[in-house]
Chain A
Amino acid sequence: MDVRINQRRHKTLILACGALAKEILVLTKQSEDNVDLHCLPASYHNFPDKIVPGLKKEFDQRYDQYDQILIGYGDCGTGGGLDRFLKDYPKAKRLPGAHCYAFYAGLEAFDDMMEEELGTFFLTDYLVRHFDTLVVKGFGIDRFPNLKDMYFKNYKRLVYLVQDPTQDLTAQAQKAADFLDLEYVERNVGYGVMADDIEALTDQGRPNV
């Protein structure tokens, strides 16, 4: 999915999970002439083994056209596979942490939350908006309601990591927690480390005047 591809050749590409598209567009608004954004399907969230092949395909087409590439993924369940893959692509760098939850919350804060309660299920703005598609339908709970307990019996709480707070999303997140029978916790984390990394990247990519 080409979210924003400029006509002229640019130095910087952000190649990201579709679940981050809206947030990255906000963060790159000031430098949209210098940064191209291309997204892979957000459904890969549930199929991490598709991430590296998906990126490889994109690199085959686009890698040589850019001076720097930010990979809008954490490890995201690839078991280190993404880092091993990126070793062969020195112009590319991924976001830190195991998941988007970590780079949104901040790595230390994320570890603290896990330390506090190992059975924490995280949602972001995107995951709240698409809870039915990615969790209820994605996990097959719509077809097999008995699976809900199987998946979530060891979880104790749902932490909603808020990027851009709205009453509607908060209500949806609370509803998701109720559906899963989990305690509801809300943390207003904004864009976290991703904002810092994108700022650093776009500063480097900005033409000297």
Chain B
Amino acid sequence: MSDQDQDDIILKDLDDNELVQQMQDDLYDGMFEEVSEGTQILLDRGWDANMVLNDALVEGMRIVGIDFRDGILFVPEVLQSANAMKGGMGLLRPILAASGTKSSTGKYVIGTVKGDIHDIGKNLVAMMLEGAGFEVINLGINTSVDEFLEAIDTHEPDIIGMSALLTTTMPYMGVVIEELEKRNILKELPVMVGGAPLNQEFADAINAHTYGRDAAMSAELAKVIMGKNR
């Protein structure tokens, strides 16, 4: 037996608290298989899917978000963590959907704006929103104002979120907000914006309701908008 084998942690041998702690560590380290396994063990032990989501996955990603903000983790590591969370979410999503709890927080339409094909950050936000209990309608990339309007008509969301990675595409967020204003939608529909080149100053300038500086923060702010911050 190698040293590594001797050091291997058997997840099913851990008690609940140890397992949740270990899952947060595994999430931090981007360990897809381990996070999936831990999720399944907790479900098999009778844990409520929402509890698994909040205590193990969302809390783990919150820590990742803090260390990203503080410059301890970088984008590749955060993406690995997100990928690991995706493993757990894959097991929880059907259960949450079946129990009807997924829309308990609110409905959120999100998309990367027209001219922009970058979706990593946007998908990370979408996942954190799901983790926060939102029903997320993800419009994908290169989303035009008409597509946002159509999604608003179809889904009647509580919040709309726009993402951009490029300096050249971020002004399009202002175009969408202007159109919402013209149609008298803006006063009742909070618009959140985010993306690497954005800042609060830009969000204020285009009359966005809220600027989310990272995925974890965006999910927290979305809950605040819904009056469900913890």
Known A77-B167, A118-B117; judge A140-B196 contact (CB<8 A): no
- Chain A neighbourhood of B199, CB < 8 A: 79, 81
- Chain B neighbourhood of A154, CB < 8 A: 117-119, 141
Residue of B nearest to A139 (CB): B76
- Chain A neighbourhood of B167, CB < 8 A: 75, 77-80, 98
Q: Which residues of A in the span 106-161 have a Cβ within 8 Å of any Cβ on B? A: 114, 118-119, 139-141, 143-144, 146-147, 150-151, 154-155
Interchain CB contact under 8 A, B170 and A140: no
Interchain CB contact under 8 A, B142 and A98: no
Q: Which residues of B in the span 103-142 have a Cβ within 8 Å of any Cβ on A? A: 115, 117-120, 141-142
Tell which of A78, A140, A155 touches B117, judged by Cβ atoms closer than 8 Å.
A155
Query: Complex formed: what's the CA distance from A147 to B75 in Å?
Result: 10
Query: Complex formed: what's the CA distance from A77 to B198 in Å?
Result: 9
Residue of A nearest to B196 (CB): A77
Interchain CB contact under 8 A, A118 and B115: yes
Q: How many A-B residue pairs have CB under 8 A?
A: 55
Tell which of B79, B80, B117, B168 touches A119, judged by Cβ atoms closer than 8 Å.
B117
Residue of B nearest to A97 (CB): B168
Give A residues with C-beta under 8 Å from B.
Answer: 48, 75, 77-81, 98, 114, 118-119, 139-141, 143-144, 146-147, 150-151, 154-155
Give B residues with C-beta under 8 Å from A.
Answer: 30, 74-77, 79-80, 83, 115, 117-120, 141-142, 166-168, 170, 196-199, 202
Question: Which 3 pairs from chain A and chain B are nearest by CB?
Answer: A140-B76, A79-B197, A154-B117
Task: List 12 A-B residue pairs with CB atoms under 8 Å apart, sorted by A's residue number.
Answer: A48-B197, A77-B197, A79-B196, A119-B117, A140-B74, A141-B76, A146-B83, A147-B79, A150-B79, A154-B118, A154-B119, A155-B117
